[in-house]
Chain A
Amino acid sequence: MNTKKPIYVRPLDLKQGRVEMAHGAGGRAMAQLIDELFATAFDNPFLAQGNDGALLPPANGRLVLSCDAHVVSPLFFAGGDIGCLSVHGTLNDVAVMGAQPLYLAASFILEEGFPLADLKRIVESMAHAAREAGVPIVTGDTKVVERGKGDGVFITTTGVGVAREGITLSGDLARPGDKVLLSGTIGDHGMAIMSQREGLAFDAPIVSDTAALHGLVAAMLDCGADLHVLRDPTRGGLATTLNEIAQQSRAGISLTEAAIPVNPVVAAACEFLGLDPLYVANEGKLIAICAERDAERLLSVMHAHPLGGRAAIIGEVVEDAHGFVQMTTRLGGRRVVDWLTGEQLPRIC
């Protein structure tokens, strides 16, 4: 798309070069960075308008808007990087509103001295994730902070989508009797990050589950099940998200520990680090709460989708004025599954 005659004497050195303060100063250096890196990778007609914002066609339906900041450390991890994560994170927030995501905006805070080669890798990963999801990145912004004032790169993305006609999903709609479904194993993203940070090696590597969920959501909506709540359990993990839903809906949730899928290697890593997988972050999983009569049908639809192969019914919504999430343990006892206290894993997404 970049058909303009280049006005720069030398192209960006994407192999050895580093981010400089000028790259965020609004002048020619910034224009070059945008042209040669961002616009080239994200390449779409809306971005090519080259204006301060993207002019978009009218949308047909209720709009959903969501934004998400990404500060993950390390920037590159098994199964992904901050680039694709920043696309998936926001797409999923839009998708679990029962919406089809349409456009993304991206804002970068770069640290002076950050290698352009790493930035290129991240931007290309974003572009790939966006293309795969069929959702273009139509506008953006770049700022540079002095060395030591950032940590490489922070990315904030905003997503716009259109909610499916006649569908309203909300955390306050869980009703006693509803079933709680989970789309797959928990804790993969958090433990992929953590094991990399701690330098832990296992027989099988732990790979982040970062993925765009709107395809799975669309299939779930298509089947016509009476869905009440969809959520993606990211920071704080399954436990925290279920507590949010219980509080919003003023109901209890009763879980069966044995039904919750956990990869053995993730379970082992959690054991080793003294963590509970229920509280470890996910980036490609969703929780669905639906009417009891539709639960089995919804489960089979999830099973048929590549991102729902290990989906399971993990519990149900119960009457409980206290809004407790409780769990029958593998041992046969019961316990509260409480909100996360403090911070289990900082800088996870």
Chain B
Amino acid sequence: MKYVDEFRDGDLAKNIARKISLEANTNHTYRLMEFCGGHTHAISRYGIADLLPANVRMIHGPGCPVCVLPIGRVDQAIRLATEQGVILCTYADTMRVPASNDLTLMRARADGADVRMIYSTQDALKIARMNPEREVVFFAIGFETTTPPTAVAIRQAAAEGLKNFSILCNHVLTPAAMHAILNVAGGVKLDGFVGPAHVSTVIGSQPYEVFAGDYHKPVVIAGFEPLDVMQSILMLVRQINDGRAAVENEFTRAVTREGNRKAQALVGEVFELRETFEWRGLGTVPDSALRLRQKYTAFDAEQRFGVKYIPVSDNKACECGAILRGEKRPWECRIFGTVCTPQTPVGSCMVSSEGACAAHYTYGRFREEIQ
């Protein structure tokens, strides 16, 4: 497959792996966080950890939209579907996230709620047009990559005068989460970031410059193919060896410093910053999420239906929080692989294939079990 196979070439990978081993200083442990779930998935699926020397450690970050969604947000969606009787449209992964009272959106659906799995915001609009007598709510989640399509849908709905469409807005911001990780009390030991791929196509590389400048953490933006990840690790090792901290771009085929101006303008027109937003694992983070601007509040399901956000604490045994902050590894959680599996997820990290726990369980769990 053209433009794909080139980035999965085994010989090239071994070549980069050799360079990383050669250049990584044996007296130093390199603690690198891949922020995005897409990178976590690639690392696990292609067995990249096997190609790295023991002192280059990858720490899985919180960049999985489903994983950072707190229980209370899923509860809100379930309440909309069960108590308000709306048609709730959602991306597939969210269906299986455990909520309060042992519910998930999938179980709510089995109990009679009208929950529909969709592939794009356009599907949600279509459902709204086809069911003018019903209220249709789109469960909008995701980082900067999924925000522009939601903005488009809102503008379309406004232009069409679609009165029965609204969104439960949970769009969150990557740089805010990176700040939160670096400001965790006690501090997560990190030497650098493998920077987001798709998110960066939208926001550009410029927003990461503060992490290199103020926090002295190197950031290398990388694509989601395995060779992208390998190359970015090599670039990070080199920066760390040189004592440098810069934003470098491995993913030049898609990311510029400015990003996608059109998408940014669209998002800016429809959304504004929320003062605070609760993240699973990171707690309440200031200026870390978006809400609809005043002129679009008619499309805000929270206001339209008066469904308040009620915080719910995570299952006590679940270590998703510490894992999302990079403090713990999936298998250091007591319930990993026993009570909590992809079939029976307790925490959100076990739900999406981009979640650190699900990726490790699905692709890498032989490592510690064999030890």
Most buried by A among B44, B363, B364, B365: B363
Q: Is the Cβ of B51 less than 8 Å from the Cβ of A332?
A: yes
* Closest A residue, CB atoms, query B227: A331
Could you say which of A167-175, A282-290, A334-342 contacts chain B?
A334-342
> Taking the complex as formed, is B96 at the interface, i.e. its CB lies under 8 A from any CB of chain A?
yes
* Closest B residue, CB atoms, query A265: B1
Q: B341-370 toward A: CB 8 Å interface, digit per residue (1/0)? A: 011000000000000000001111110011
Q: A315-349 toward B: CB 8 Å interface, digit per residue (1/0)? A: 00000001010101111111110100110000000
Q: Is the Cβ of A331 less than 8 Å from the Cβ of B48?
A: yes
Known A-B contacts A268-B1, A341-B342; the reply to A330 vs B8 at CB < 8 A is yes
Cα distance A267–B13 when bound, in Å?
21
Known A-B contacts A331-B51, A336-B362, A341-B342; the reply to A322 vs B369 at CB < 8 A is yes
> Taking the complex as formed, is B49 at the interface, i.e. its CB lies under 8 A from any CB of chain A?
yes
Residues of A within 8 A of B369 (CB): 322, 324
Question: Nearest Cβ in chain A — how far from B27, in angstroms?
Answer: 26
Find residues 205-238 in chain B having any chain A CB closer than 8 Å to their own CB.
Answer: 226
Q: B190-202 toward A: CB 8 Å interface, digit per residue (1/0)? A: 0000000000000
Select one of B10, B45, B363, B365 contacting A332, CB under 8 A.
B10
Q: Is the Cβ of A331 less than 8 Å from the Cβ of B363?
A: no
Residues of A within 8 A of B51 (CB): 331-333
> Taking the complex as formed, is B331 at the interface, i.e. its CB lies under 8 A from any CB of chain A?
no
Known A-B contacts A267-B1, A329-B46, A341-B342; the reply to A336 vs B365 at CB < 8 A is yes
Question: Nearest Cβ in chain B — how far from A270, in angstroms?
Answer: 10
Known A-B contacts A322-B369, A331-B13, A331-B46; the reply to A336 vs B364 at CB < 8 A is yes
Known A-B contacts A267-B1, A335-B46, A341-B343; the reply to A330 vs B10 at CB < 8 A is yes
> Taking the complex as formed, is A271 at the interface, i.e. its CB lies under 8 A from any CB of chain B?
yes
Residues of A within 8 A of B365 (CB): 336
Q: B11-29 toward A: CB 8 Å interface, digit per residue (1/0)? A: 0011001000000000000
> Taking the complex as formed, is B243 at the interface, i.e. its CB lies under 8 A from any CB of chain A?
no
> Taking the complex as formed, is B4 at the interface, i.e. its CB lies under 8 A from any CB of chain A?
yes
Residues of B within 8 A of A271 (CB): 1, 4
Q: Is the Cβ of A334 less than 8 Å from the Cβ of B1?
A: no
Known A-B contacts A264-B1, A268-B1; the reply to A326 vs B366 at CB < 8 A is yes
Question: Nearest Cβ in chain B — how far from A331, in angstroms?
Answer: 5
> Taking the complex as formed, is B47 at the interface, i.e. its CB lies under 8 A from any CB of chain A?
yes
* Closest A residue, CB atoms, query B95: A342
Select one of A328, A330, A336 contacting B363, CB under 8 A.
A336
Question: Nearest Cβ in chain A — how far from B150, in angstroms?
Answer: 20
Most buried by A among B10, B14, B45, B226: B10
Residues of A within 8 A of B366 (CB): 322, 324, 326, 334, 336
Select one of B47, B342, B343 contacting A334, CB under 8 A.
B47
Q: Is the Cβ of B13 less than 8 Å from the Cβ of A332?
A: yes
Q: What DSSP secondary structure best describes chain B's contact surface?
A: helix
Residues of A within 8 A of B14 (CB): 332
Cα distance A332–B14 when bound, in Å?
8
Residues of B within 8 A of A328 (CB): 47
Residues of B within 8 A of A342 (CB): 96, 342-343
Select one of A264, A322, A329, A338 contacting B361, CB under 8 A.
A338
Q: Is the Cβ of B363 less than 8 Å from the Cβ of A335?
A: yes
Q: Is the Cβ of B47 less than 8 Å from the Cβ of A331?
A: yes
Cα distance A337–B49 when bound, in Å?
16
Cα distance A268–B362 when bound, in Å?
23
Cα distance A329–B4 when bound, in Å?
15
Q: A12-26 toward B: CB 8 Å interface, digit per residue (1/0)? A: 000000000000000
Q: Is the Cβ of A332 less than 8 Å from the Cβ of B50?
A: yes
* Closest B residue, CB atoms, query A252: B366
Cα distance A329–B14 when bound, in Å?
12
Q: Is the Cβ of A335 less than 8 Å from the Cβ of B4?
A: no
Q: B284-318 toward A: CB 8 Å interface, digit per residue (1/0)? A: 00000000000000000000000000000000000
Residues of A within 8 A of B362 (CB): 336, 338, 341
Residues of A within 8 A of B10 (CB): 258, 329-332
Select one of A264, A267, A330, A335 contacting B44, CB under 8 A.
A335
Cα distance A322–B8 when bound, in Å?
29
Q: Is the Cβ of B47 less than 8 Å from the Cβ of A329?
A: yes
Question: Nearest Cβ in chain A — how far from B14, in angstroms?
Answer: 6
Cα distance A258–B11 when bound, in Å?
13
Q: B50-83 toward A: CB 8 Å interface, digit per residue (1/0)? A: 1100000000000000000000000000000000
Question: Nearest Cβ in chain B — how far from A338, in angstroms?
Answer: 5
Q: Is the Cβ of B226 less than 8 Å from the Cβ of A331?
A: yes
Cα distance A271–B45 when bound, in Å?
14
Q: Is the Cβ of B47 less than 8 Å from the Cβ of A332?
A: yes
Find residues 26-66 in chain A having any chain B CB closer than 8 Å to their own CB.
Answer: none
Question: Nearest Cβ in chain B — how far from A224, in angstroms?
Answer: 36
Cα distance A264–B17 when bound, in Å?
27
Question: Nearest Cβ in chain B — how far from A262, in angstroms?
Answer: 10
Known A-B contacts A268-B1, A330-B10; the reply to A335 vs B47 at CB < 8 A is yes
Cα distance A342–B343 when bound, in Å?
7
Q: Is the Cβ of B364 less than 8 Å from the Cβ of A335?
A: yes
Known A-B contacts A267-B1, A322-B369, A341-B342; the reply to A331 vs B8 at CB < 8 A is yes
* Closest A residue, CB atoms, query B44: A335
Chain A residues near B (Cβ < 8 Å) = 258, 264, 267-268, 271, 322, 324, 326, 328-336, 338, 341-342
7 A-B pairs (CB sep. < 8 Å): A268-B1, A331-B10, A331-B13, A333-B48, A333-B51, A338-B362, A341-B362
Closest 6 CB pairs of A and B: A333-B47, A333-B50, A335-B363, A341-B342, A331-B46, A331-B13
Chain B residues near A (Cβ < 8 Å) = 1, 4, 8-10, 13-14, 17, 44-51, 96, 226, 342-343, 361-366, 369-370
**Supplied contacts A335-B44, A335-B46, A342-B342, 4 more A-B pairs, CB within 8 Å:** A326-B366, A331-B48, A332-B51, A336-B362
